[in-house]
Amino acid sequence: MFLGTKTTTFMLGVAIGLSGTIATAKSNIVIGLQQEPTTLDPTADATASIDGIFTHNVFESLTTVTETGAVLPNLAESWKISDDNLTYTFSLAKGVKYHDGTDFNADDVKFSFDRAMGEDSVNPSKKIFSKITSVSVVDPHTIEIKLKSVDAFFLFNMAKGDASIVGSESVEGNKTNPIGTGPFTFTSWKRGDRMILSKNMDYRDAANISLDKVEFRFISDPAAASAAILSEELDAFPGFPAPELLPQFEADPRFDVRVGSTEGEVILAMNNAKPPFDDIRVRRAVSYAINRDEIIDGAMYGRATPIGSFYPPHGKAYVDLTGTYPHDTAKAKALFEEAGVAGMTMTLRLPPFPYAKRSGEIIQAQLAAAGIDAKVENVEWGFWISEIYKKQAYDMTIIAHTSPNDMGNFARGKKYFYGFEEQEFTDLWASIRTETDPAKRDEMLKQGQRYLAENAIHGFLFQLPRLGVYRNGLNGFWTSSPVLYQPLADVSWAK
Amino acid sequence: MGYFLFRRTVGLFLTLFAVSIVVFASMNVLPGDPAITILGIESTEDARAVLREQLGLDEPVLGQYFAWIFNALQGDFGVSYSYGVPVSELIGERIPMTLSLAFSGMALTTTLALFLGISAASYHKKPGDWGVMLLSQLGIAIPAFWLSMLLVLLFAVKLRWLPPGGFPGWDEPLSAMRSLILPTVALALVQSAVLARVTRSSALEVIRLDFVRTARASGFSKSRVLWRHVLPNALIPIVTIVGLQFAALVSGTIVIENVFYLPGLGRLIFQSISNRDLFTVQALVMMFAIIVVLANFLVDIAYVLIDPRLKGRSN
Amino acid sequence: MTLRQLPANLIIGAILVILVLGVALLSTIWTPYDHAALSISNKFQGPSFAHLLGTDQLGRDVVSQLMVAAGNSMVVAVTAVFIGGTIGTMLGLLASAKGGWVEDLVMRLSDLGFAFPALLFAIMLAAAFGPSLPNVVIAIAFINIPVFARVSRASANQIWTREYVFAARAAGLGKIAISRDHILPNIAAPVIVQATIEFALAILIEAALSYLGLGAQPPSPSWGRMLSEAQTLMYLAPQLAVYPGLAIVTAVLGFGLLGDGLRDISDPRLARER
């Protein structure tokens, strides 16, 4: 799959050979991914690697975002927003064609939105369309979207893969043969092994695309992934799965290691609906009992930023609240005793992700030191979905929330698996969602972070890092990522 | 013989039928929801409901089962929930991987086992014999996944001679063969330990027979007698065990494929169970069951052919 | 039979088994350290007098973990083989005594047990009820039932043709009574031999299931899980991938040799060939 015919015994020779190619500017790239997509349509399946490969590479949306999360025009070249912030009029790019040769126009936009919003929609992010009341074609290059209430995240959300503009003629085949308008066309997929994209020669900005061929290889085993990187089979591994293996790449001058941030807040979720976690003393005690530095050191090999609330440290509105409950086992013990739960047994059900399993084992020991017996259960994803997520049958779990702007999770009511509902926060979130003045919104986001930390709704652990290993001379990959995708249009080899 | 065959064939089909019910029932009671697995935990309930309807998950379980078995008997194994392509296509893509591994494993197992078993028999009650027997005990005691890890540790991590996992497909024959070396060895060492013991005891029985003494007495060399006279006559029980072992080997590929990250049927079955991909699991478990049951069936028939007295015993 | 006449495999097997059982028993009263005590700043230490086999990725003492894991492994193997063996032997005796459709049914059910890959059964069990040691016990017990049903039925069928059994029947004893008084004592030897061998297999299966994350849950250690954790750390601490494997091999080899040795004494015809 990845080591090919070369062995590392001949590594030196290969390195010399390849550096010869770099001098004449390579135009192809091999990217390693841990997860293989199941189907290829980002508007019908939530698998992250579908977005990673196709969104803004094969498919495009009305808008796009930068590495820092700023919204830019894409298929919509510009837009006007009415004074009441409820009507968006988008002017669409002209002369755009789908990869099958059909023309792109406002009808395709309407088709894509109707499909995502309609009764028969299986869009994984259907709720981002929920505020739309109407989508109408003004002329072939103008589309008007009306909202029922103000949505501060609307333009950001419209950049998502779930809001990809698909072609009405080709949509049925997108699951296996995706047809979009993007800078790259889908060429081939060998399931279990690799996927190939090629440059779209008819792209409206084709002159600025420097890659001719992009090959994705699917390697789920971290050890195999490192071997493939070291033998220079791969040029990039943007989501490298094993922080413990990074030092060998950092020590190697051939590679460039970038540790950035994602939108994934890793939390020790506590079931707020159920005793003992309906008692704030118990939740605070847990917060005192956990030692973030030890967790990050042991589970992430030091490659993560601690968080004290539910907002990413790279975000504009971030407040550092990691000092709210400094690690203090004695205090935790005292609080547990005060709440009458000392010596109690609780479950800690962990989903099958390395960050969760590793953190869970450490947290188990930290809680034990504070007098709480946490029973660790490593469960399957299907089990987690049905028992923890749907039935709320858990005391504690560890999970990363990878969506941007997801503080609204705390306003989803008692039925969401947090089991948390407070009018004060629900109202706050409603104002955040509808506040269009960025400064005011950031102020409220800070207020929200403080509220969640103060009430110790969950144990807030760390921000999931984005670990990337790249060959030297490769430019344009994002270090941090506010979204699930990575636009390849800007990626190039140094001349 | 005819009646015996008939009874065993009916039993065979009943067994497979029962396996299909067990799989279907257990997949239906497993906690989990394919719709959430596909659409993610941020999806809305109405989108999930639409998808469940599209996948046919809202039908009554009994109806789903009969529809499945009706289609399966006509060669249609359904469409995979998670991949959205026919299950037969998914399996077809992965069969070459698993079969390559099973056959190369079988070939190495048989070669090693015959050589070790016959050698041990020829050195009966001498150090060589004990050595082989100890090796084979050791071979049985080593977990295949640990052996695999040790092989990776030595040949991929330390020496960097061979890839630690993965399979590039037969389009690149040379690297495909290189990727198969470690998994094949891991699979075969344990199996050949079992087979070597059978070969040895079976050869020992033959060695005591008169015609072997005659052959030896008429001046044929020891190795000629072993390979030309003893082996062919000791072969029947060996072949039976090989048949049974092929089944074990196919199941063994499940573990090996997961250790070496090989994109074969064994890995597919793991992924489909965690994706709650009912039709894929159903088809794969049935396939593994058919191989195992068929091997047992053939072995039983072989026994009866060798020793007709056995068929009366089950009455 | 004097000690010198005992087969070598029996002696070696017994020594290994006593060693493993001894360590397992010892672990219930003493280990060098608390097996679950973390010390992340001390991770990946090499062997030293303080930690004879060093520490793991969370700074836990490897020797202590191996010892406690031995206990877990033995408990699972004993319980599972006992449960599976009892049920299987009963079914085998029943099949042999009743004959006819009962025998057919038992044998076809045992076919079913064989046909369903054991590993898959365990995976589904864990998927349904969450992973735990009791579920591993159930899975291993379940796959042992058909094995013991077959062995006991085959042995019992031979005993039923013995003259003393005919005599007992002529004396008017019922089939259940004969099974209990005459058949069971006479098939005990092959069943016990089988149990020893299955015991070895049970240790292997427990390790494989724990390796796949379906067995003992942290902080309770198991050899299989220690291996799976070591696998991703192979570049950093290869030694961690070696010790638990050696422990498994010692235990399995011990019971395997013991089983072989027992078979050799109980069945002299086979012993001559071996």
* pLDDT string in tens for chain B (315-residue length): 678 788 778 878 888 888 888 888 877 877 778 888 888 888 888 899 999 888 888 888 888 888 888 888 888 888 888 888 899 998 988 888 888 898 899 899 989 988 888 888 888 777 878 888 888 888 889 988 899 889 988 888 788 888 877 787 788 888 888 989 999 999 998 888 888 888 888 888 777 777 777 777 777 777 777 777 777 777 767 777 777 677 777 778 888 888 888 888 888 888 888 788 888 988 888 888 888 778 777 777 776 666 555 444 443
Whether C232 sits inside 8 A of A365 (CB atoms) is no
Measure the N-to-C terminal CA separation of chain A; round to a whole number of Å. 29
* Domains of chain A: total: 3
- A2: in domain: no
pLDDT of amino acid B37? 83
As a whole-number percent, the residues of chain C with pLDDT over 90 amount to: 40
Diameter over CA atoms, chain C: 77
pLDDT of amino acid A222? 83
- A24: in domain: yes
- Which residues in chain B touch residue A176, judged by CB atoms under 8 angstroms apart? 84-85
**SS3 of chain C: helix, strand, coil, percent, to 5:** 75, 0, 25
- C40: in domain: no
- A485: in domain: yes
- A3: in domain: no
Ramachandran region, residue A200 (left: φ > 0; alpha: ψ -120 to 50; beta: rest): beta
C130 touches chain A (CB under 8 A): yes
pLDDT of amino acid A136? 95
**Which of A173, A201, A232 is the last residue in one of the domains?**
A173
> Which of C157, C238, C253 minimises the CB distance to B157?
C238
Cβ-Cβ contacts under 8 Å for C57 (sequence gap 6 or more): A244, A298, C43, C44, C229, C233, C236, C237, C240
- C53: in domain: no
Q: Which chain A residue is nearest to residue C218, measuring alpha carbons?
A: A376
Take residue B190 and report the two structure tokens written for it. Answer: 């344990």
Same-domain pairing of A364 and A399: yes
pLDDT of amino acid A6? 33
Mean pLDDT, chain A, rounded, equals: 90
> Which of B138, B149, B251 minimises the CB distance to C119?
B251
- C269: in domain: yes
* Phi, psi dihedral angles at C2 (to 5 degrees): -85, 170
pLDDT of amino acid A18? 42
pTM beyond 0.95, yes or no: no
Residue A191 to chain B, least CA–CA distance (Å): 8
CA distance A83 to A76: 20
Same-domain pairing of A370 and A482: no
- Which residues in chain B touch residue A352, judged by CB atoms under 8 angstroms apart? 274
**What domains appear along chain B, each with residue ranges and CATH number?**
2-73 (no CATH), 89-306 (1.10.3720.10)
pLDDT of amino acid B5? 80
> Which of C108, C119, C241 minimises the CB distance to B149?
C241
Domain that holds residue A97: 63-173
* Phi, psi dihedral angles at C43 (to 5 degrees): -70, 155
- A7: in domain: no
Residue C131 to chain A, least CA–CA distance (Å): 7
Cβ-Cβ contacts under 8 Å for A374 (sequence gap 6 or more): A345, A346, A347, A348, A363, A364, A367, A368, A395, A396
pLDDT of amino acid A186? 97
Residue A380 to chain B, least CA–CA distance (Å): 7
CA distance B69 to B15: 15
Tokens 């998502």 correspond to A160
Q: Does C219 sit behind a cis peptide bond, omega within 30 degrees of 0 on the bond before it?
A: yes
Q: How far is residue C265 from each of residues B129, C1, C153, C229, C262, measured CA to CA in Å?
A: 19, 10, 22, 41, 5
Same-domain pairing of A146 and A110: yes
How many pairs of residues across A and C have Cβ atoms under 8 Å apart?
62
Q: What average pLDDT does the segment A316-342 reach? A: 94
Same-domain pairing of A286 and A403: yes
Q: What average pLDDT does the segment A406-417 reach? A: 92
- A78: in domain: yes
* Domains of chain C: total: 1
**Angle formed by the axes of helices C8-29 and B127-141, nearest 10°:** 30
Q: Tell which residue, A418, A463, A443, has the closest CA to residue A311.
A: A463
Q: How far is residue A6 from each of residues A11, A342, B161, B181, measured CA to CA in Å?
A: 8, 59, 10, 15
Neighbors of chain B by Cβ distance (3+ pairs < 8 Å): A, C
B296 touches chain C (CB under 8 A): yes
Alpha helices, H only, chain B? 2-29, 34-39, 45-55, 61-73, 87-122, 127-141, 144-151, 173-207, 210-217, 222-224, 231-259, 265-274, 278-306, 309-313
- At residue A332, does pLDDT exceed 90? yes
Q: What average pLDDT does the segment A212-231 reach? A: 87
Measure the N-to-C terminal CA separation of chain C; round to a whole number of Å. 18
Tokens 């056959």 correspond to B103
- At residue C91, does pLDDT exceed 80? yes
CA distance A447 to C10: 73
Dihedral angle of Cα C22, C28, C30, C35, to the nearest 10 degrees: 110
Cβ-Cβ contacts under 8 Å for A81 (sequence gap 6 or more): A87, A88, A89
Cβ-Cβ contacts under 8 Å for A437 (sequence gap 6 or more): none
C241 touches chain A (CB under 8 A): no
pLDDT tens, A24-77? 568 999 999 998 898 999 999 988 899 999 999 999 999 999 988 899 999 999
Same-domain pairing of A401 and A440: yes
Strand blocks (E) in A271-361: 305-306, 345-350
Q: Which residues of A308-337 are buried (b: 16+ CB within 10 A; e: fewer)?
A: bbbbbbbbebbbebbebbeebbebbbbbbe
pLDDT of amino acid C158? 85
- Which residues in chain A touch residue C57, judged by CB atoms under 8 angstroms apart? 244, 298
Same-domain pairing of A161 and A292: no
- At residue A5, does pLDDT exceed 80? no
- Are the C-beta atoms of residues B32 and A382 closer than 8 Å to each other? yes
Whether C37 sits inside 8 A of A365 (CB atoms) is yes
* Phi, psi dihedral angles at A76 (to 5 degrees): -90, 120
Which three-class secondary structure state does DSSP give residue A205? coil
**Other beta carbons less than 10 A from residue A350's beta carbon:** 27
- Which residues in chain B touch residue C227, judged by CB atoms under 8 angstroms apart? 145-146, 149
* Burial category of C108 from C-beta neighbours within 10 Å (exposed 0-12, middle 13-18, buried 19 and up): middle
Residue A33 to chain B, least CA–CA distance (Å): 13
Mean pLDDT, chain C, rounded, equals: 87
Q: Does A276 sit behind a cis peptide bond, omega within 30 degrees of 0 on the bond before it?
A: yes
- C31: in domain: no
pLDDT of amino acid A20? 42
> Which of A362, A365, A378 minimises the CB distance to C213?
A378
CA distance A62 to A108: 11
As a whole-number percent, the residues of chain C with pLDDT over 70 amount to: 94
Neighbors of chain A by Cβ distance (3+ pairs < 8 Å): B, C
Q: Tell which residue, C133, C156, C139, has the closest CA to residue C69.
A: C133
- At residue A231, does pLDDT exceed 50? yes
> Which of A242, A248, A297 minimises the CB distance to C232?
A242
Whether C260 sits inside 8 A of B30 (CB atoms) is no
CATH classification at residue A20 = 3.40.190.10
pLDDT of amino acid B312? 45
Domain that holds residue C150: 7-23+59-273
pLDDT of amino acid B309? 52
CATH classification at residue A79 = 3.90.76.10
- Are the C-beta atoms of residues A407 and A445 closer than 8 Å to each other? yes
Q: What average pLDDT does the segment A355-367 reach? A: 95
Same-domain pairing of A200 and A221: yes
**Angle formed by the axes of helices C223-232 and C62-98, nearest 10°:** 130
- Are the C-beta atoms of residues C10 and C257 closer than 8 Å to each other? yes
**Which of A111, A141, A173 is the last residue in one of the domains?**
A173
Whether C40 sits inside 8 A of A297 (CB atoms) is yes
Same-domain pairing of A67 and A49: no
- A1: in domain: no
pLDDT tens, B126-163? 787 888 888 888 888 998 889 988 998 888 878 888 88
pLDDT tens, C101-159? 888 888 888 877 777 666 777 777 777 777 888 888 998 998 899 989 988 998 898 88
pLDDT tens, B103-119? 899 899 989 988 888 88
- At residue A7, does pLDDT exceed 70? no
- Which residues in chain A touch residue C238, judged by CB atoms under 8 angstroms apart? none
CATH classification at residue A350 = 3.10.105.10
Four-residue CA torsion sign, B61, B65, B67, B71: positive
pLDDT of amino acid C117? 66
pLDDT of amino acid A104? 95
- A346: in domain: yes
pLDDT of amino acid A115? 95
- Are the C-beta atoms of residues A302 and A259 closer than 8 Å to each other? no
Same-domain pairing of A328 and A404: yes
* CA Rg value for chain C: 22
Q: What average pLDDT does the segment C35-50 reach? A: 88
Same-domain pairing of A441 and A319: yes
**Angle formed by the axes of helices B2-29 and C118-129, nearest 10°:** 20
Whether A191 sits inside 8 A of B162 (CB atoms) is no
- At residue C1, does pLDDT exceed 90? no
- Which residues in chain A touch residue C134, judged by CB atoms under 8 angstroms apart? none
Q: What average pLDDT does the segment C219-235 reach? A: 88
CATH classification at residue C195 = 1.10.3720.10
Same-domain pairing of A278 and A248: no
- Which residues in chain A touch residue B162, judged by CB atoms under 8 angstroms apart? 3, 7
pLDDT tens, A110-140? 999 999 999 999 999 998 999 999 999 999 9
Q: Which helix (H) or strand (E) holds A65?
A: strand A63-65
**C145-C149-C150 Cα angle (round to 5):** 120
| Predicted confidence band of residue A16 (pLDDT cuts 50, 70, 90) | very low
**How is B114-178 classified by DSSP, letter by letter?**
HHHHHHHHHTTTSHHHHHHHHHHHHHHHS-HHHHHHHHIIIIIIIS--S-SS----TTSHHHHHH
Q: Which chain C residue is nearest to residue A222, measuring alpha carbons?
A: C232
* CA Rg value for chain A: 24
Whether B179 sits inside 8 A of A39 (CB atoms) is no
- C54: in domain: no
- Across A287-301, A378-392, C214-228, the highest mean pLDDT is recorded for A287-301
Same-domain pairing of A222 and A154: no
**Which of A173, A198, A232 is the last residue in one of the domains?**
A173
- Are the C-beta atoms of residues A296 and A443 closer than 8 Å to each other? no
